Copies of this chain bind each other. A is one copy, B any other.
């Protein structure tokens, strides 16, 4: 009996192996076994088989596919592994496949078949705007899409917040603004936000231009805002009107006013010519068109260099790429260009070209990336030196000619040498200059605006000289004025007079000084770092050791702090923080507006009353320098390295990128580059 069974058994075993998912066979699932241990297997099997009959239903068959029925045990290990591996791959393919099908179903749902025609009510005032203002132009009180949706209709009565420019500052503001407190309008000559830090990558096709831009309208939809693609040219502060201009394809210009309750200037800056001659022969890198023009020119030069008639000398000129300006933009462009030439050029172009290409950086300061920690500048310079990118420091460009660039360089011995380089291409990326409207407004505001480079604001980012709480400025077009000394002194003087003292005789004790310091910290957060050791400062400036500070000594103390305060960098980071700051403040002001209105409070420093002053927190700067990257995290924290740094650099920007869309596109581009390299196509 026992022998017989021991023969029969294997046969069953194989059977289950083959038909495990279809036949419920005569084999019981493992665990059920144990409760019956005391019985012999045989009796157990009997009971089992009798059970099994009752449950053989189609539904059951089906369910078996996924059920936890143990997989058949095959003897050979190798077989097991392959079996399981196959199962894994199979499973993943299935899941992925399901995903794909899912996507296609979704995709199919995105094709609107019938046009959505419908009568819509547009206010007459939107179709025929009234004329008015100093220049008697049409005034856009109402927009044609003010009634497009319930949400928009609600906002018609809200204060009108107009943002000039769709760059980092403006977009940061839009992203954090409370959706239902303001009637938002963005006025910008371009209808997209540009992810500027990656612009150098786009010049050589590492990234496609499309991956760096996000339509402003898409960003605006969150706050149900409006967009006007035009150029703001002037602001009538007294009438609260923005003068806007646009030209149509036939070259006719239209002008009109856009009214505002609050206007935010975020118009950015233009490139600084530094009064150099012949810049019409140089290229700039500010917007998408620039990026394309540059790419086309680079590739055009490469193609020309291949022509049989091109002389050796001419070829060397065509392939001499000069970057004027050793800041992040210039350095990153040089790096990207080097990558292109090093990684992709040699693949499809004559090898001769690779040998005759030269990349030069002309930097006016002693180091490239001079705003970064010195160790990083050194790292970058060494890197470039190794990559045969020729860095020339202490050099100032005199003139750019069609085929050569002339510059003076300070020699180690201090003597000035005038030199020149043949150029096939020259990028001009040195510093920023104010945009047209910034200049116009600065003139208008006269003595309130003393800075040639940007619009001066107080620490609440309100443009100096404009009606309090109407006009704000953020980003490159603005600079925060830190005149601690003047501000405090005048303040104390007036209080002194009020109290009937003669300011000259007033003496501040340490207690008073601490109060003053508190006040300074509140009004000038940037100054806080320099007001840490109050007692030290006090004793240091109490020259006569009288135990008190007179106005003279106080002024000295504050002046010294002023000098320590540097103006904020013209970076995306700063613009971003200022935008966020305004968004938070405006949200707060909208909340308290009710109460203020009730108590009929209209004037006075509402900003200061409702929200703290702007404080800039430097999160560090980073730069790509050709298959390696450097990070300056401030306070002497630095990072520099090869590929790992590059991937980090990418992920930082990937995270900062404005939308899921741009992130996805960026990723796709990087994959593309990895698989196919950059395509050297010009169009």
The verdict on A417 contacting chain B, using a C-beta distance below 8 Å, is no
- The answer to whether A6 and B680 touch across the interface, beta carbons within 8 angstroms, is no
A679 and B303 contact, Cβ closer than 8 Å, known pairs A30-B30, A37-B9, A343-B111: no
Q: Which of A1-49 contact B (CB under 8 A)?
A: 1-2, 5-6, 9-10, 12-13, 16, 27, 29-38, 40-42, 45
Residues of B within 8 A of A140 (CB): 308-309
Q: Determine if A73 and B29 form an interchain contact, defined as CB atoms under 8 angstroms apart.
A: yes
Which chain B residues lie closer than 8 Å to A287 at the CB level? Answer: 683
A87 within 8 A of B: yes
Closest chain B residue to A125, Cβ basis: B308
- Chain B residues with Cβ under 8 A from A675's Cβ? 661, 664
Taking CB as reference atom, which chain B residue is nearest A676?
Answer: B661
Is A111 touching B354 in the complex (CB atoms < 8 A)?
A: no
Contact A35 B6 (CB under 8 A): yes
Tell me whether A103 and B309 are in contact (CB under 8 A): no
A116 at the interface (CB under 8 A from B): yes
Q: Mark A383-419, 1 if CB is under 8 A from B, else 0.
A: 0000110000000000000110000000000000000
- Using known A-B contacts A306-B229, A661-B675, determine if residue A145 contacts B87 with beta carbons closer than 8 Å: no
A643 at the interface (CB under 8 A from B): yes
User: How distant is A185 from chain B, measured CB to nearest CB, in Å?
Assistant: 10
Is A350's beta carbon under 8 Å from chain B? yes
Task: Tell me the minimal C-beta distance from A67 to chain B in angstroms.
Answer: 5
Mark each residue of chain A from 306 to 323: 1 if its CB lies under 8 Å from any CB of chain B, else 0. 111111100000000000
Instruction: Count this chain's copies in the assembly.
Output: 2
Q: Is A89 an interface residue (CB 8 A)?
A: yes
Contact A348 B2 (CB under 8 A): no
- Residues facing B in A114-130 (CB within 8 A) are 115-120, 122, 126-127, 129
The smallest C-beta distance from A17 to any residue of chain B, in angstroms, reads: 8
B307, A111: Cβ atoms closer than 8 Å:
no
A116 → chain B closest CB, angstroms: 6
A45 to chain B: which residues have CB within 8 Å? 37
Contact pattern, A 221-257, Cβ under 8 Å of B = 1, otherwise 0: 1000001111000000000000000101110001110
Render A646-668 as a binary contact track against B, CB cut-off 8 A, 1 for contact: 11000000000000010011001
* A330 and B304 alpha carbons, distance in the complex (Å): 36
What are 17 inter-chain pairs, A to B, with CB distance below 8 A? Answer: A6-B36, A6-B37, A67-B84, A70-B70, A70-B71, A89-B95, A112-B343, A115-B342, A116-B342, A138-B308, A140-B308, A145-B352, A191-B681, A221-B348, A229-B304, A229-B307, A664-B672
